Amino acid sequence: MPDLIIATPATPTLAVRGDNRRFPVHRIYCVGRNFAEHAREMGSEIDRGSPVFFMKPADAVLPGGGDQPFPSATSDLHHEVELVVALGHDADGEVPAEQAMALVLGFALGLDLTRRDLQARAKSKGLPWDTAKGFDRSAPISEIIPVAQFGPLGAQQLTLSVNGSVRQQAPLSDMVWSVPEIIAELSRLYELRAGDLIFMGTPAGVAALQPGDSYHASIDAVLQLDGQFTSR
């Protein structure tokens, strides 16, 4: 170990169901526009040829959700409920879609919190999305369920309620790019590693959150995530 001039920052970690070991987060990749209805509500169409990718820093995770301060610098904070894929193995270069599931340790449920006002401004000027997407606690995430316990991905309903009212709901089978296809695409762009998370994109119904709002997210009865926004 080299002598360090400051203390090593803590590695963000997530709980794994049925295991007392935690999952250390390496990178967070995110897919944009992976549900056709959501792409339309955002004023764009799906380009089947090229998924949109962006990233959040690993320490944007808020493990298990719970209370969080309402984020700074936005008056239009949007919820995006998403399936999250957790990689348990390093990729050896480019990964064909047929082999991609071998890298997956499990699945989780996350919110891709978005400063929509800053994103709209960035989009209009052709600028990067970092301040809109990659801020502190912008990624509340549930525990991870190992693949074998989750079962095959299919018709499970991804649902988000805010203050008891359903805002977003769609089956996972509505995703335009499947999990193996997204892993294959990402592996052409990045060296995928154990510890990587992939946010798979959100269905239609994104809308604003306010201080004091509470949310409940679920994938059928398999995964839950709850949280609340306190005042700044």
Binding window for Mn ion (CB under 5 A); candidates: 52-60, 72-80, 142-150, 161-169: 72-80
Nearer to Mn ion, 112 or 143 (CB): 112
Report the greatest alpha carbon distance in the chain: 53
**What is the secondary structure of 157-219 as a DSSP string?**
EEEEEETTEEEEEEEGGG-SS-HHHHHHHHHHHS---TT-EEE----S---EE-TT-EEEEEE
Binding of Mn ion at residue 112 (CB under 5 A)? yes
Binding of Mn ion at residue 196 (CB under 5 A)? no
Sequence-ordered list of residues with C-beta below 8 angstroms from that of 232, at least 6 positions apart, any chain: 69, 70, 72, 211
| Residue of minimal Cβ distance to Mn ion | 112
Residue 15: count other Cβ atoms within 10 Å of its Cβ.
Answer: 17
Nearer to Mn ion, 57 or 146 (CB): 57
Closest to 182 (Cα-Cα) out of 79, 80, 107: 107
Binding of Mn ion at residue 202 (CB under 5 A)? yes
* Least distance in angstroms from the C-beta of 91 to Mn ion: 22
Binding of Mn ion at residue 80 (CB under 5 A)? yes
* Separation of alpha carbons 219 and 191, rounded Å: 29
Sequence-ordered list of residues with C-beta below 8 angstroms from that of 187, at least 6 positions apart, any chain: 91, 93, 94, 95, 100
Nearer to Mn ion, 129 or 150 (CB): 129
Binding window for Mn ion (CB under 5 A); candidates: 88-96, 101-109, 140-148, 200-208: 200-208
Nearer to Mn ion, 80 or 143 (CB): 80
Binding of Mn ion at residue 185 (CB under 5 A)? no
Binding window for Mn ion (CB under 5 A); candidates: 13-21, 39-47, 120-128, 198-206: 198-206
Closest to 218 (Cα-Cα) out of 177, 163, 159: 159
The two structure tokens encoding residue 41 = 């509500």
Binding window for Mn ion (CB under 5 A); candidates: 71-79, 88-96, 104-112, 210-218: 104-112
Nearer to Mn ion, 16 or 172 (CB): 172
Nearer to Mn ion, 112 or 185 (CB): 112
Q: Which residues bind Mn ion (CB under 5 A)?
A: 80, 112, 202
